[in-house]
Structure 1
Amino acid sequence: MRVQKFLKTVFSVLAILLAFSCNQKKYSRIQVSLPISTKKGPLENENLKNWEYKDIETDTLPGISLEKAYATILKNKQPEKVIVAVLDSEVDINSGYFNGHIWTNANEIAENNIDDDGNGYIDDVNGWNFLGNTKGENITNANYEYVRIVRKYNNQFRDKKESEINQELLPAFLKYERAKIKLESEYTKVTRRVKFGEKILQDFLNAKEALKEYFPNGNYTYEKLKEIDTVGNGLSKHVLEIKSVLDYNDSEENMRRVLNDYGNDIKYRLNIKYNARGILQDSLDDISNKSYGSEMLFKKANNYTHGTRMTSVILSMVNNQANEIEVMPVVVEPHGDAHDKDIALGIRYAVDNGAKVINMSFGKEFSMYPEMVYEALKYAEEKKVLIISSSGNDGKELNDNFYKYPNDQTLDNQEDISDNFLKVGASTYSVNKNIKAYFSNYSSLYVDLFAPGYEIYSLFPNGERKKDSGTSISAALTSKVAALIYAYYPNLTASQVKHILMDSGLEYSFEVSTPTKEDKDKTTPFNQLSKSGRVLNAYNALIMADSISRK
């Protein structure tokens, strides 16, 4: 439950308001003048359901005004179909929710073991899996990129000092040194978390056993806990333990899941001796070697749900409006970090097969072969394809010391490689200091835009819809709006769509919470947290797209 306060802050809009003829009607960009009246009383779950599509003027919720756009600007207009490639984990393409909206390669015949369209990928009827092989094996867990870097250079640079390295090898050495520090730090951190998690689980199991007389079925309630006599019988600590579990909405299942994930970190993702790539038999440093992968897109979708969830955000309907989008699943993301080669080939595959938007809701702090991805970005730009990525969920400022790949800027000179790439942070439904999601990364150098990414419903492979949060959601929602622009204004270039999305958002200038280790109370004006300083707005974007497309 949340009570929205009277809005006291002032947020700016674009300096120039465009009015233009659209379906013989005049539409003006959203302009908010404060103070305005907000919803009085509590906002229950039903009020916040699909808040991301709401309008700041009409609903006093800082959504993207997509419902408003469909009801006005897009009413009675006919869109073209647009393909959005989802570079991610596997996708549950057989879900009824996605029926009719999974891309089909019309030039490929299913299951005949022939590359009918000659694109180098056999039986790629609905997309391609760069993590699988023809035997049905699939990479689920993979190393983090910094682990791979340490493994690659360990024999060459171990115990060496910077003064001993020649100039040509210095960049690789410095990358290795950073990666080694990161690996040691993460391994220590995860090991501690495992020990702590094991203690928490054991405390719960002890309490469960001690209180089984009172809760034989494990249906714990605060009321029943209060009734238990804890005087002189040793039950007090067990009652407090169960109360803590209820307070944090925790469960034995969740404790074991978290412990299992930490265990997989140690066993696979942080393990320098573990290399999952053997099942693919490809050469990671050779981009021309692309004859690997599989057409199977959903075998492990239940194991890693991320791709399915992002697809559901992109395909979600607004007030039962017909969806203009088809999703092309391209599997590149395991538990761990994606390989640069898979990302680069995934981008090229999507471009060559007709995608206009590529959603990449993932990121990593290190990159072994960034040039592969840079070249793929340029290739996509030539074909007018827009690429959208997430800023990450570390709650930190991105800078030269904390960087997220993929990106369209080099660390050397911070110049753009291309003009078709967007990195998106996450905003919330609070029009106050908490409008930046607490977990969202931000940067006036490396983040382009913000979009809703907090408590938004997504679909899991079992068909269940749950609240979901993360900058991944923000990127997927931005991809949805980008596809919408292409659907109604197909003549626009990727660069034009990128800048429409950035320039048409709503700008908030008030101070927001950006705590750091050194300063827990630090605040920053919201419009300084990204290049644009804005939050995505579909209504304004469509107005601007219409205007630009007429020129």
Structure 2
Amino acid sequence: AYKELLKKKKSQTVIVAVIDGGVDIHHEDLKHKIWTNKGEVANNNVDDDNNGYIDDVHGWSFLGGKDGDALYENYEIVRIYKKLSKQYSDSVSAETKNTEEYQYWLGIRDSVHNQVRTVVSNFEYYSRIKSTYDYYVEFLKKETKSEELSVKKINALPRSDSTIIRAQEFMELIYQYYGSLETDFDQVLDALDDELKLYNVNADYRSVVGDNPDDPTERYYGNNNVIGPDAEHGTHVAGIIAATRNNRLGINGIADDVIIMPIRAVPDGDERDKDVANAIRYAVDNGAQIINMSFGKEFSPNKQVVDAAIEYAMSKSVIIIHAAGNDGNDIGIKPSYPVKYYNQRDSAKLWIEVGASTSMANEMLPADFSNYSKIRVDVFAPGEDIMSTLPDDSYDELGGTSMAAPVVSGIAALLLSFYPELSPEQVVEIIKRSAVKYPDLEVIKPGSMDELTSFSQLSNTAGVVNTHKALKLAEELSSK
């Protein structure tokens, strides 16, 4: 696309807001692509531009306060559980038990308890496997007289001892399942331990922010630490969109003349509706033309404040790109919030919902984890094994619709940059119309093992985005 279609064309800078968990603004491949608020004087503790946010030089965090930054938040279902727990108990009246809200509360309570039991059970299971694994690894190192184990060395041991036989059989299972004898069970246990933190009903992760969590209309809180305690996800997203091209470092982002506005609103756990709404408003008020939102959750108790922010973004002609989610669900049946629908009639016209595709144009075209919907998903985009930037000048592959969304954000930025005469509505339409269509392709339905369905049933375009085709269509429309 760059060599054939954009070689002699001039571009204009486009601002893309990345609402995420944080962005490493000092990364070698991103540091020249970070938005700077020219109306703000750095570190003078004054709101120079009078936008309500002090020293927001490179963006804003709605997850921080004067005493630090929040990393975790409970899942939304846990927050609902905690709120209703104050209202209901086992000793409520028979009349109360017959109410719709009480039955809802019972469902929430049972769901939380079941999910906690599942995580605890998994933690105990993997703890036992780790203990057995560690024991056999040490045992086999002594038996083979080697610090480097291999399948060949292990199988060469004489099967004359019952412990050797059990060790060989166990390590054979490990190799078959993980494809390697070296397996980091500590990483699995750490992930499960983090999961338990998100279900901890007694935790107060929010207090460091200093806001009123129960006031969804509160606007002005947070701090200017846009990196945060864990910037892996947001840095990866930002790199896909905007990593500096052709600088002999790392990767080439999709869009060249683009600036990233980092806004921190997504914790480990579920983002709060008020933070999402405020992040959208901050992005719009500070000049973002595109907002990338690679996050989602099952419940949205204050959906109205998010809807109002989305409607505000639409009124300012800002394009929103949202990741469909990674649960293998039909989001027409089980939504992943936020959604573009305000109610049954109205929706955000400049919204693109993105599913994740693989590199294979066969039955495995949709990523097995991707959410989908004939009505609510617009396009698919590459979202499996995507190489991009990570904190501390590093790079690695990640997968998810979180990676597919910034691919689309990058394409949208490219179109706005080289064809500024096109309206945002035209840009959204171009991305959809130019997608490579696979209407008759039979694919494995995401979330299933082998159920086949038509690719046309997974999105409303039956298409995978294509930058080259999008630019050719933009040129055609622009010339008219």
Answer whether TM exceeds 0.5 for this pair. yes
Structure 1 residue 211 and structure 2 residue 146: aligned? no
Q: Is the 8 A contact 1:201 1:252 kept in 2?
A: no
Q: Is the 8 A contact 1:515 1:523 kept in 2?
A: no
Indicate the SS of the match to 1:103. coil
Structure 1 residue 276 and structure 2 residue 276: aligned? no
Counterpart position of 1:307:
234
Indicate the SS of the match to 1:156. coil
Pick aligned residue for 1:454 from 359, 384, 406: 384
Q: Is the 8 A contact 2:61 2:264 kept in 1?
A: yes
Call closer, same or farther: CA 1:486–1:128 in 2, change over 3 Å: same
The alpha carbon displacement at 1:164 in A equals 4.4
Counterpart position of 1:334:
267
Q: 1:252-274: CA deviations, max 9, x gaps?
A: 773112212211222x2011222
Q: Is the 8 A contact 2:217 2:274 kept in 1?
A: no
CA distance in 2, matches of 1:261, 1:128: 28
Q: Which moved more, 1:190-199 or 1:487-496?
A: 487-496
Pick aligned residue for 2:26 from 94, 113, 119: 94
The alpha carbon displacement at 1:549 in A equals 4.0
Indicate the SS of the match to 1:80. coil
Q: Is the 8 A contact 1:340 1:372 kept in 2?
A: yes
The alpha carbon displacement at 1:477 in A equals 0.7
Q: Which moved more, 1:435-444 or 1:292-301?
A: 292-301
Q: Is the 8 A contact 1:220 1:242 kept in 2?
A: no
Structure 1 residue 294 and structure 2 residue 200: aligned? no
Q: Is the 8 A contact 2:29 2:244 kept in 1?
A: no
Q: 1:446-498: CA deviations, max 9, x gaps?
A: 21110011111122213332222111110011111111111112243333322
Pick aligned residue for 1:501 from 428, 431, 436: 431
The alpha carbon displacement at 1:175 in A equals 5.7
Structure 1 residue 363 and structure 2 residue 296: aligned? yes
Structure 1 residue 478 and structure 2 residue 408: aligned? yes
The alpha carbon displacement at 1:290 in A equals 2.3
Call closer, same or farther: CA 1:550–1:383 in 2, change over 3 Å: farther
Call closer, same or farther: CA 1:389–1:515 in 2, change over 3 Å: closer
Q: 1:291-326: CA deviations, max 9, x gaps?
A: 31111122413xx51111111111245666882111
Pick aligned residue for 2:127 from 198, 206, 213: 198
Indicate the SS of the match to 1:120. coil
CA distance in 2, matches of 1:218, 1:185: 42
Q: Is the 8 A contact 1:423 1:449 kept in 2?
A: yes
Q: Is the 8 A contact 1:374 1:417 kept in 2?
A: no
The alpha carbon displacement at 1:513 in A equals 0.3
Q: Which moved more, 1:237-246 or 1:533-542?
A: 237-246
Pick aligned residue for 1:138 from 69, 73, 82: 69
CA distance in 2, matches of 1:163, 1:531: 46
Structure 1 residue 406 and structure 2 residue 335: aligned? no
Unaligned runs of 5+ in 1: 1-68
Call closer, same or farther: CA 1:327–1:515 in 2, change over 3 Å: closer
Pick aligned residue for 2:285 from 318, 342, 352: 352
Q: Which moved more, 1:420-429 or 1:459-468?
A: 459-468
Q: Which moved more, 1:456-465 or 1:151-160?
A: 151-160
Q: Is the 8 A contact 1:87 1:359 kept in 2?
A: yes
Q: Which amino acid aligns with 1:395?
A: G
Counterpart position of 1:260:
190
CA distance in 2, matches of 1:162, 1:488: 66
CA distance in 1, matches of 2:385, 2:47: 42
Indicate the SS of the match to 1:451. strand
Counterpart position of 1:437:
367
Q: Which amino acid aligns with 2:3?
A: A
The alpha carbon displacement at 1:543 in A equals 2.5
The alpha carbon displacement at 1:131 in A equals 0.7
The alpha carbon displacement at 1:380 in A equals 0.7
Q: Which amino acid aligns with 2:286?
A: N
Unaligned runs of 5+ in 2: none
Q: 1:195-250: CA deviations, max 9, x gaps?
A: 11111111111112212315677532222222222322511222333344444146
Counterpart position of 2:80:
149
Q: Which moved more, 1:185-194 or 1:459-468?
A: 459-468
The alpha carbon displacement at 1:87 in A equals 0.5
Q: Which moved more, 1:441-450 or 1:291-300?
A: 291-300
Pick aligned residue for 1:386 from 319, 326, 329: 319
Q: 1:77-136: CA deviations, max 9, x gaps?
A: 11111111110112111111113101111111111111111111111111111111122x
CA distance in 1, matches of 2:33, 2:102: 47
The alpha carbon displacement at 1:182 in A equals 3.0
Indicate the SS of the match to 1:96. coil
Q: 1:139-187: CA deviations, max 9, x gaps?
A: 1111001111111122334557998489xx95x6676455334323321
Indicate the SS of the match to 1:329. strand
Q: Which moved more, 1:372-381 or 1:207-216?
A: 207-216
Counterpart position of 1:397:
330
Call closer, same or farther: CA 1:202–1:101 in 2, change over 3 Å: same
Q: Is the 8 A contact 1:381 1:494 kept in 2?
A: no
The alpha carbon displacement at 1:356 in A equals 0.8
Structure 1 residue 71 and structure 2 residue 3: aligned? yes
Pick aligned residue for 1:465 from 391, 395, 404: 395
Indicate the SS of the match to 1:234. helix
Indicate the SS of the match to 2:372. coil
Structure 1 residue 124 and structure 2 residue 56: aligned? yes
Counterpart position of 1:22:
none
Q: Is the 8 A contact 1:162 1:173 kept in 2?
A: no
**Matched residues, number:** 471
Q: Is the 8 A contact 2:62 2:275 kept in 1?
A: yes
CA distance in 2, matches of 1:178, 1:542: 49
Q: Which moved more, 1:197-206 or 1:177-186?
A: 177-186
CA distance in 2, matches of 1:358, 1:513: 31
Call closer, same or farther: CA 1:251–1:312 in 2, change over 3 Å: farther
Indicate the SS of the match to 1:279. coil
Structure 1 residue 236 and structure 2 residue 165: aligned? yes
CA distance in 1, matches of 2:375, 2:209: 37
Structure 1 residue 373 and structure 2 residue 303: aligned? no
Call closer, same or farther: CA 1:178–1:534 in 2, change over 3 Å: farther
Indicate the SS of the match to 1:290. coil
Identity of aligned residues (%): 35
TM-score (norm 1): 0.80
Q: Which amino acid aligns with 2:367?
A: A
The alpha carbon displacement at 1:431 in A equals 1.1
Call closer, same or farther: CA 1:482–1:163 in 2, change over 3 Å: farther
Q: 1:59-78: CA deviations, max 9, x gaps?
A: xxxxxxxxxx2122211111
Call closer, same or farther: CA 1:151–1:467 in 2, change over 3 Å: same
